[in-house]
Amino acid sequence: MQLVNKIPEHILSYIKEIGKEADSLNLEAYLVGGIVRDLILNRPCKDIDIVCIGSGIELAKQSSFKIESASKVAIFKNFGTAQFTVQDLEFEFVGARKESYRQDSRKPIVEDGTLTDDQNRRDFTINALAISINKNNFGNLIDPFNGVEDLKKRTIKTPLDPDITYSDDPLRMMRAIRFASQLQFSIAEKSYESIKKNAERIKIVSMERIAIELNKIILSPKPSIGFKLLYNSGLLHFVLPELAKLQFVKEKNGVRHKDNFYHTLEVLDNLSKNTDDLWLRWSAILHDIAKPPTQRFHEEHGWTFHGHEVVGAKMVPKIFKRLRLPLDGKMKYVQKLVALHLRPISLTKENITDSAVRRLLFDAGDDIDDLMLLAQADITSKNERKVKRYLSNYEILKVRLSEVEESDKLRNWQPPISGNTIMETFQLKPCKEIGIIKNAIREAILDGEIPNEYEPAFEFMKNEAAKLGISVEV
Ligand code: CTP
């Protein structure tokens, strides 16, 4: 296979430069891991890993001097690695090692292996490919575990006995599933069975590292592939138990409800066809998360999950905290979408008032389009006619939303009368009456009693104040 031809021109020139430096340091050096895999798969790759027989740190330093526009070299002594960037490319250097790639280890890593040792210790055969970059054998592929064959067969397989590969770094169990989901590959039977056996060992891995892989699964083209593997292997029970708990169906008096785990995955896949936004995808994962604690059976209505959107929104911070996901605006955004996810569907019935449409716009603000995408993805009925009807009702709702938005400008609503205006007009110090008047103005605008404009709102404010016994000082 002529892999060198596949290397983009600008990357090739840097690699040749690094190869020259390796020659002058008398080191063997190789491109290794993801870059080789991605070259064969024709995927873009910006992380370029180089392994050398000897000091990767030395090679990084020397190479950086020779490459114009290379950044300063960052050295990670404990990992025995060094890296620099050139534009948007990241070059990472490591000395071949006998030990595995334990990223949590605080012990310095001894650079004492051969290329074979190094390849043995990598996670999967498709990630254990190396290409020589020394001048004499530039471009030679070293593929001891038939990684190329596994790429063709679309298989994820550990190079050694999977029990050994996973015990070196249990995160690799998540990585196997991440690659299966990202690349739409299958996991070789032994490599998969071993995940089932060792799933509990994921507990020793830091949540930060787990979340990185989880997010990559969520961002894959069809995330349900990854989540089904996580569930069936037992990993999901440790990583996101709340989601695993959605997998059940209860039956009473012959009435069953849908399996909310598989429903959630369908919603996630539906949504993923229309957005690459990680946090919007997270809102699909969590939209029904509180169905188990809110489930009731009523003789008349069958199974209900009243308030699951409110309880679900309250569960979001705990889940984000545990997974070390950002607790800032992203978390608030997911919470908001979970809380509001039923609102659009409730507005697709007949006789919906402008006031209800206005309230939805007001509550969703700038996230209204994302909320509509989530709500549309939430239609997973097997009945095609039903799906069609819901979708066309959504189209009608979208038109109503844009009409109301056009006339009332409620997205990112700022009250036409501020608290300051109320205080100045009535010569008031801060007091609870200001809040009462402000709320009344907001409600009147949302109900359509007055337009969203200064003059009518000012008149309305005077009337409301009068009701509270407050009048304008003359
Ligand atoms: N690796 C490993 N075990 C791990 C992590 C990484 O053996 N737990 C090795 C693999 O050979 C991998 C390489 O280190 O190809 C680089 O790892 P990383 O940058 O995390 O992943 P990539 O394989 O490059 O994939 P991606 O860029 O999609 O994260």
Helix (H), strand (E), coil (C) string for the chain: CCCHHHCCHHHHHHHHHHHHHHHHCCCCEEEECHHHHHHHHCCCCCEEEEEECCCHHHHHHHHHHHCCCECCCEEEHHHCEEEEEECCEEEEEEECCCCCCCCCCCCCCCCCCCHHHHHHCCCCHHHCCEEECCCCCCCCEECCCCHHHHHHHCEECCCCCHHHHHHHCCHHHHHHHHHHHHHCCEECHHHHHHHHHHHHHHHHCCHHHHHHHHHHHHCCCCCHHHHHHHHHHCCHHHHCHHHHCCCCCCEECCEECCCHHHHHHHHHHHHHCCCCCHHHHHHHHHCCCCHHHHCEEECCCEEECCCHHHHHHHHHHHHHHHCCCCCCHHHHHHHHHHHHCCHHHHCCCCCCCHHHHHHHHHHHHHHHHHHHHHHHHCCCCCCHHHHHHHHHHHHHHHHHHHHHHHHHCCCCCCCCCCHHHHHHHHCCCCCHHHHHHHHHHHHHHHCCCCCCCHHHHHHHHHHHHHHCCCCCCC
Q: Is the pTM of this model over 0.85?
A: yes
Q: Which of 47, 91, 115 to mutate to test the pocket of ligand 1 (most atoms within 8 A of CB)?
A: 47
Residue that has been written with the tokens 């993805």 in this structure: 377
Pocket flag, ligand 1, residue 172 (CB < 6 Å)? yes
Distance 168 CA to ligand 1 centre (A): 14
Atom of ligand 1 nearest to the CA of 123: 7
Cα separations (Å) of 376 from 333, 355, 395, 467?
18, 22, 10, 44
Distance 244 CA to ligand 1 centre (A): 27
Predicted pLDDT of residue 78: 78
Q: Which of 123, 171, 182, 195 to mutate to test the pocket of ligand 1 (most atoms within 8 A of CB)?
A: 123
Contact present, 25 and 59 (Cβ < 8 Å): yes
Beta strands 141-142 and 130-132 are antiparallel
Distance 155 CA to ligand 1 centre (A): 16
Contact present, 339 and 246 (Cβ < 8 Å): no
Pocket flag, ligand 1, residue 81 (CB < 6 Å)? no
Pocket flag, ligand 1, residue 33 (CB < 6 Å)? yes
Pocket flag, ligand 1, residue 47 (CB < 6 Å)? yes
Q: For 389, phi and psi rounded to 5 degrees? A: -65, -45
Q: Which of 119, 127, 143 to mutate to test the pocket of ligand 1 (most atoms within 8 A of CB)?
A: 127
Pocket flag, ligand 1, residue 56 (CB < 6 Å)? no
Contact present, 341 and 287 (Cβ < 8 Å): yes
- pLDDT under 50 in the chain at which residues? 474
Pocket flag, ligand 1, residue 92 (CB < 6 Å)? no
Q: Which of 101, 142, 169, 181 to mutate to test the pocket of ligand 1 (most atoms within 8 A of CB)?
A: 101
Predicted pLDDT of residue 454: 92
Distance 180 CA to ligand 1 centre (A): 14
Distance 221 CA to ligand 1 centre (A): 20
Cα separations (Å) of 435 from 145, 147, 423, 442, 449?
70, 67, 11, 11, 19
Pocket flag, ligand 1, residue 63 (CB < 6 Å)? no
Pocket flag, ligand 1, residue 101 (CB < 6 Å)? yes
Domains of the chain as residue ranges with CATH? 3-153 (3.30.460.10), 155-239 (1.10.110.30), 419-467 (no CATH)
Residue partners of 242: CB distance under 8 A and separation at least 6? 289, 315, 319
Pocket flag, ligand 1, residue 205 (CB < 6 Å)? no
Predicted pLDDT of residue 72: 95
Pocket flag, ligand 1, residue 143 (CB < 6 Å)? no
Predicted pLDDT of residue 111: 57
Distance 127 CA to ligand 1 centre (A): 7
Residue that has been written with the tokens 């310095």 in this structure: 108
Torsion of CA 386, 389, 390, 393, to 10 degrees: -170
Pocket flag, ligand 1, residue 122 (CB < 6 Å)? yes
Residue that has been written with the tokens 């009409």 in this structure: 403
Pocket flag, ligand 1, residue 49 (CB < 6 Å)? yes
